[in-house]
Structure 1
Amino acid sequence: MEDRNLNGKDFEEKSTDFSLNDYIRRLIRYWYLFPIFLFILLTAAFFYLQISQPVYSTKTSILIKEEKSLTGSQGDILTEMSSQFGGNKTVENEMEIFKSQTLVEQVVKELNLDVSYTTKDGLRTIDLYNTTPIKIKPEVITEYGYEEPLIIHVVDSTHFRFNDEDQLFTFNQRFNNAWGAFIVTKGENSKFTDVTVHFTEVKNLAENILGRVSVQQPNIKSTVLEITYEDANVQRSKDVLNKLLDVYIQSSLNDKNSEASNTLKFIENRLGLITGELGDVEKDVESYKTNQGITDISAESQLFLENIKENDSKLNEVNTKISILESVDNYIMNAGEGAVAPATYMIDDPVLVSLLTKFNELELQRERYARTTSPNNPLLQTINTQLAGTRQSIRENVQNLKRGMAVTKRNLEGINTRFSAGLRSIPKKEREFVGIKRQQAIKEELYLYLLQKREETALAYASTVTDSRLIDAPISTFKPIKPKKALVWGGAFALGIIIPLVLINLLFLLRNTVQSREEIEKVTHASILGEIGQMKGVVNGVPGEESIIKMTSRSAVAEQFRALRTNLQYLGDGSCRVIMFTSSIGGEGKSFISINLAASLAYSDKRVLLIGLDLRKPTLHDRLMVPNKTGASNCLIGQGHYEDFIQSTGVHPKFDVLTSGPIPPNPSELLSNGRLPLMLAELRSQYDYILIDSPPYGLVTDSALIAEHVDATLYIVRFNYTVLDHLKRIGDLQRARRFSNLSVIFNGVNYGAGYGYGYGYGGYGYGYYAEESDSRVQTMGSRLKKLVGKG
């Protein structure tokens, strides 16, 4: 009663249990995939290592100097010059500059890397950097030249050929062809005569180099940068790093010299103006003394003169500061349009000095990043925003200072007015002379101040040095970093194991056919009466004598049929003599098993009749090679007695057959007309066993009609052929008890490695028999065929 209560849910739960033994058997079944894939992938790894160019890593390090404060007058001057022209460097900014497209493009142009030379040495491609037997000086390269390489064959020391052409050319000639305009010159002495020339656009090559350049800061607390470059040619990698450092340093020096040059121009312009004014004043003094004959000034006039001079000096200083503030305002308004930068040391206000210094630094950074980055770079936009804010702050500060200077100027002018009133008592000539002399003293003081500043600026300009220092020259690794042989071999070996595993699991995930005895038992809950293996060289569907086992056969399949014959006594109560063979679909081996089981019973001295009741697609007559003009269909329609249609098979004297006969138009009605049970009742008295080859139960209802009149039903399930869903139909039949004494025969089982077990026989496996040992030998081709076709 328990079997009747089993349902599909129980099957689902049981079928999902993982069995390690089944999984291992599954892998062992396809063991040959592992050596195949291992051989393929290890061979591919070998050729990959032969073809791939080894890549080396070259490393150099550079120190980004920090600002240092010095003591004494020299320290004050250098600190002032550093604040004017040095700017503030951050390690992060310098890291980005090292990886700028502009610097790398300049490296490519100076090293002529846009033209590369390679040759073949067996399977490997060799880079001929600095060792090429020919060199090309390109003038114009076409799009075709950038896409297709140019092959040059060196014939001798003076001649060469292009590609596959036969025409000889001499070196140092200018050529115009599909690749462009260029000159071919003689290179280094080399054993290679075939050279492949690759032209690459500077921009594309620079991007490629940037992808292989790494700039890192090994220690966050230091300002040392470590630059690494990977290349297949060691010398080229060293040259690229050296040239990159040279270009970086030269770019930094150019920025500093540009700022110092602008300051010198500003001072020179101011000196030119003051020099002219001072000359005019001195000429006025000379002319006045000559014309008026003045040689001395009285004590009173001297006192007024000193007071007025001191007051005028302050007034002139105020005017100068106002002028400087106007020049600063003009510079801020026209910054970036060629305006001369003002000198910050001529302004007393510390806030304005700080703002101007910050503005100059930001302007310098903006010019630097504008050369190395795109206009949409977030860093450049941030600097532009800071420049705008700083410009606005400077203008507001200048306006405030100018207003304060204007008040001071008015106060000083008022004091001058009071002192001038006191001078009215001084003779006119002496007063005029004092005014001229006062202007001369003021111009002299300003002139000397500008001369001093010009010398300091010239000294700073002459002593400009880079803010970085090379620590380690480029050093390359002794062993290549790519490809890593151990990793390649290990990866190939791992893939040789993983791919077959994935393939085998994928095949079993996609398969939908029966593979093991356990699957039948889990789903159907029916007993398996026997297992039939594959016969050597015989497919179940092949007709003729080769598909019938001989009595003297010692093969494993023959023994299995003998075991099946023995197991018939366990069907039902042991008295089952009329047995029907059916299956889910055609081709599962009903006819093959029924014929051979009948033959085996006949060999055991049993009288056996095999009836072909597959009235829709009969095959028994073809397998037994007997005529099928008349048969069971004639009996069922009443055209004669069964004795008139029974034939001897020729396999054994006690083995008879009743073929299906002509195919009727209504097989189901014919089987249910009542004549079948009468015929079987009469045959029971004449034969020990009656075996019925019926149609597939899964396709038509004929088997259900026949099953009502038989003692037992043997349901055929074929290995790797029967669909798993069809097993549920057997389970339904078992639970519903629709077929009496239902058992399963597992047909076509492959007992090769992976099925997991076989029947031992007296301590020996089937390999004990000579025929079986031969049948177990399978070629690799047959295994692959099964894998592709039925795996």
Structure 2
Amino acid sequence: MNHHATSADQELLDDEQDFNLNEYIARYFRYWYLFPVFLVLAFTVAFFYLQITQPVYSTKTTILIKDEKKGLGGSQGDILTELSSQFGGNKLVENELEVIKSQTLMEQVIKELTLDVSYTAKEGLRTVNLYKTSPVIIKAEVITPFGFQEPMTIHIEDSTHFRFNDEDKIFTFNQRFNNAWGAFVITKGAQSDVQDLKVHFTDVENLAENMLKRLSVEQPNIKSTVLELTYEDSNVQRSKDVLNKLLDVYVQSSLSDKNSEASNTLKFIENRLGLITGELGDVERDVESYKTNQGITDISAESQLFLENIKENDTKLNEVNTKISILESVDNYIQNAGEGAVAPATYMIDDPVLVSLLTKFNELELQRERYARTTSPNNPLLETINTQLAGTRQSIRENVQNLKRGMAVTKKNLENINTRFSAGLRSIPKKEREFVGIKRQQSIKEELYLYLLKKREETALAYASTVTDSRLIDAPIATFNPIKPKKAVVWLGAGVIGIIIPVLLINLLFMLNNTVQRREEIEKVTHSSILGEIGQMKVQVNGLPGEESIIKMTSRSAVAEQFRALRTNLQYLGDGSCRVLMFTSSIGGEGKSFVSINLAASLAYSDKRVLLIGLDLRKPTLHDRLMVPNKFGASNCLIGQGHYEDFIQNTGVHPKFDVLTSGPIPPNPSELLSNGRLPVLLAELREKYDYILIDSPPYGLVTDSALIAEHVDATLYIVRFNYTIHDHLKRIGELQRMRRFTNLSVIFNGVNYGVGYGYGYGYGGYGYGYYAEESEGAVKAVGSRFKKLVGKS
């Protein structure tokens, strides 16, 4: 027995797991009206979205970044390339890319274009920006926190007057105002027909972040140094102005960085020139005074020779001292870099290695300053640059120390030579020797003065001829058509959404709906035969809902025909001689009384004597539906109180259709049904009636039906469409396998033969549309259908 049950359960499980493609597709045809509804809604939303949304245009421009590594000659270029291999041309372009996208530059663009104050107005359903077309211009002095949160409305009354928000007070232009938004001056702007506009104040930092999200800077070709800037905006003119101003700000920032070194060098030379000029004047006055006092007009040839030699040696010694001074300034600059120290002039240094190291150090300093303004202190790239700066600083200090040691040796040698020349001068007469000493100081100062003048001119020329490292290739050009919203994509998306939503909704409803929807579900789970199908009553009869009506069996309606078919199918129950039939179900409301009453009426119309017994002793409803009294009935017979003939009533539906109502509700229905009088009563009634139909309580709730089933010929189990849940079908399958009910069959009640249901099952599965009684409710409003679907009614 257990083996049989296990096999049956496995077979049931396999059946439930089968996927029926036709059934899956049919569910969508059943609710076809949802698709046009949601398509119309989706297209309506798409239409209003396109009307409301401002079109966004894309503006592009390209610039060329010049490679700073080009132009270095010979060994210096090679040394610099070797020492800074990590910073090639591509890396330089990437650095400039980040600089262009910096928050600092964008904030400067906003301030110069006054983008933190914007003006909007309504144009139909759309809100348009009045950039450079606003009839008013606001010069904000102070903006309050409230002003950043809420826009300010301005109503223009005439050419000289306006109102704020909903205030009645009239104001004039060119005045200073103080209100909840802040302090500002309002002047007249461009000529415009706009009468009402809103003014939006935006925080510069937040606006810069938002604008940077719409700015993209890319390198189209990795091998080139060309950058492509793209900016998206709803206003074409504003997008062009933003790109132009951004490039202007970037160029000015680059020029400022490049001029800083030349400016520092000029300051250094000017300071040195001031000192040398004063010293040279003093020496010249000493020469003049000595010649006047001593009456010297010329010196001997020997003195002249010594003087020339000393002059040449002093020139060399002076150059050495100058170089040592420059090296000391370099060492001081390296030690105090970042603290306002004056940068030395690299072209005043002869050593190529030191020149390359200083050039690299200055580049790293500029990069560090840029990244410090645009990135966080913990940025890995900033940390890398700091590490390279520390290494370069150490290399420069070591190189400077080595050069200073070499210069010290050279200086000592020159001083020794001067000592020998000085000894030679002692042989010259005292006057001449004194004059040569004074002349020697004059020559030294003149050489140094001329050298500094030359370097100052060179530095001034370099400062005046400084050019930017970038060059504009293409001016900003905006797209002719907006890049978003794209109408074709919006319409296509609306169509897809209009299809997807009802598909998802239908699937969700079917997933959440655990009630019986199809005939196959009953057959798969219960393995019972379906004796008949009863369609859903769509019209009221005698003022009662369709599901509670007594059908006029002489009509040609679809449901009447189905009851006739069910009456015919009764001959296939058991061996064909089943005359006592019990109607039960899993729960209340599945239509036992409706089916039993109308089947009894159909049998009566076929000239059969029919008795309908109400044995639902707990919640009787037959007397209400048939509108007969229920003072006495079956409960009286079961307790032995009177004869059944005294309690049987004619229904008035047909002369051969009688009813035995349940009677008074007893306190012990189960005990009454099992006291032995029920089989005696049925045996006596069999002699008088052709068919005895018993309306019993739901089997899934009480055990009364099981007690009645022992005395009937067949059991008709009512399953209602979209009402009976699947778990109840399993109970029917268990009853069938256990043979608990004799000749168990199923009646599928309340079936909705809408589009997509079945393939034409039985007598009523295909097109009852030609029946007059059904035509009135054939076409329903879409809203009513949707409400019915959601309510699972």
> TM class by shorter-chain length?
over 0.9
Shift of the alpha carbon at 1:189?
Answer: 2.1
2:66 maps to what in 1?
Answer: 65
In 2, Cα distance between equivalents of 1:197 and 1:544: 64
| 1:384, distance to aligned residue in structure 2 (A) | 3.1
What is the identity, as a one-letter code, of the residue corresponding to 1:217?
Answer: Q
Q: Distance in 1 between matches of 2:66 and 2:745?
A: 92
1:721 matched to 2:723: yes
Q: Secondary structure at the match of 2:688?
A: coil
CA contact under 8 A between 1:541 and 1:587: conserved in structure 2?
no
> How far does residue 309 in structure 1 lie from its aligned partner after superposition?
4.9
The alpha-carbon deviation at position 378 of structure 1 amounts to 4.3
| Cα contact 1:3–1:735 (8 A) shared by 2 | no
User: Relative to structure 2, which stretch is displaced further, 319-328 or 279-288?
Assistant: 279-288
Q: Are positions 1:327 and 2:368 aligned together?
A: no
| Deviation per residue, 1:538-593 (Å, 9 max, x gap) | 49995899711222111111111111111111111111111111111111111111
Does residue 78 of structure 2 align to residue 42 of structure 1?
no
Q: Distance in 1 between matches of 2:66 and 2:702?
A: 94
Q: How big is each residue's C-alpha offset from its partner over 1:593-630, in whole Å with a ceiling of 9 and x where there is no partner?
A: 11111111111111111111111111111111111111
Displacement of 1:694 after TM fit? 1.0
Amino acid of the structure 1 residue aligned with 2:595 = I
- Give the SS at the match of 1:183: strand
The 2-side partners of 1:204 and 1:121 are apart by 27
Other structure's SS at 1:744 match: strand
> Would the aligned equivalents of 2:636 and 2:663 in 1 still touch at CA under 8 Å?
yes
**Aligned residue number for residue 31 of structure 2:** 30
Equivalent position amino acid for 1:8 in 2: D
Structure 2 letter corresponding to 1:46: F
Q: Please state if 1:187 is matched with 2:189.
A: yes
- The correspondence of residues 161-310 of structure 1 with structure 2, limited to 5 A, is 161-292=163-294, 308-310=310-312
2:586 maps to which of 561, 584, 587: 584
1:9 maps to what in 2?
10
Answer yes or no: is the 8 Å Cα contact 1:540–1:592 preserved in 2.
Answer: no
Residues 603, 652 of structure 1: 8 Å contact kept? yes
SS at match of 1:753: coil
- Equivalent position SS for 2:142: strand
Which secondary structure state, in structure 2, belongs to the residue aligned with residue 766 of structure 1? coil
> Are 2:537 and 2:547, in contact at CA under 8 Å, matched by a contact in 1?
no
| Contact residue 545 and residue 624 of structure 1 kept, 8 A | no
Amino acid at match of 1:43: T
Q: How does 1:251-650 map to 2 (within 5 A)?
A: 251-292=253-294, 308-373=310-375, 375-538=377-540, 547-650=549-652
Match of residue 657 from structure 1:
659
Q: Are the equivalent residues in 2 in contact too, given 1:241–1:474 (CA < 8 A)?
A: yes
Offset at residue 298 of structure 1 (A)? 5.5
The SS at the match of 1:181 is strand
Q: 2:140 aligned with 1:138, yes or no?
A: yes
Q: CA deviation at 1:202?
A: 2.1
Q: Secondary structure at the match of 1:575?
A: coil
Contact 1:545 1:623 in 2 (8 A): no
Q: How many Å separate the matches in 1 of 2:579 and 2:478?
A: 89
Is the contact between residue 359 and residue 387 of structure 1 (CA under 8 Å) also seen in structure 2? Answer: yes
- The 3 A distance-change label for structure 1 pair 783 and 468 is same
CA contact (8 A) 1:540 1:589 kept: no
Change (3 A) 1:586 1:689: same
Shift of 1:127: 1.9
Inter-partner Cα distance in structure 1 for 2:324 and 2:123: 78
Deviates more, 1:531-540 or 1:153-162: 531-540
Alignment partner of 1:140: what SS? strand
SS in 2 for 1:471: strand
Deviation at 1:740, TM superposition (A): 1.2
The separation in 2 between residues aligned to 1:255 and 1:647, in whole angstroms, is 112
The two structures, once aligned, show a CA RMSD in angstroms of 2.9
Q: Identical aligned pairs, as a percentage? A: 84
Shift of residue 228 of structure 1?
Answer: 1.5
**Matched AA of 1:584:** S
Deviations 1:115-141 (A, max 9, x none): 222221221222222222222222222
Quote how far apart the aligned CAs of 1:502 are.
Answer: 0.5
* Distance (Å, rounded) in 2 between the aligned partners of 1:539 and 1:281: 135
Q: Report the Cα distance in structure 1 between the residues aligned to 2:61 and 2:108, rounded to whole angstroms.
A: 19
Deviation at residue 371 of structure 1 after TM alignment: 4.5
How many Å separate the matches in 1 of 2:737 and 2:58? 73
Q: Measure the CA separation in 2 of the matches of 1:333 and 1:539.
A: 106
> For the Cα contact (< 8 Å) 1:598–1:610, is it kept in 2?
yes
**1:517 Cα deviation from its structure 2 partner:** 0.4
Gaps of at least 5 residues in structure 2 are none
1:543–1:196 Cα change, 3 Å? closer
Deviates more, 1:447-456 or 1:376-385: 376-385
- Number of positions where the alignment pairs a residue of Structure 1 with one of Structure 2: 782
Letter in 2 for 1:710: V
One-letter amino acid matched to 1:50: Q
Deviations 1:461-520 (A, max 9, x none): 111122222112111111122211111111111111000000100110111100000111
**How far apart, in 2, do the equivalents of 1:210 and 1:116 lie?**
17
Aligned counterparts of 2:163 and 2:547: Cα–Cα separation in 1: 74
2:107 counterpart residue number: 105
Alpha-carbon distance in structure 2 between the residues aligned to 1:497 and 1:370: 53
CA distance in 2, matches of 1:544, 1:518: 25
Preserved CA contact (<8 Å) 2:539 2:545: no
Deviation for aligned residue 1:525: 0.7
Write the distance in 1 (CA, Å) between the matches of 2:57 and 2:288: 80
* Cα shift at 1:697: 0.8
Return the letter of the residue paired with 2:46: A
Number of the residue aligned with 2:19: 18
- Quote how far apart the aligned CAs of 1:310 are: 4.8
Secondary structure of the structure 1 residue equivalent to 2:237? helix
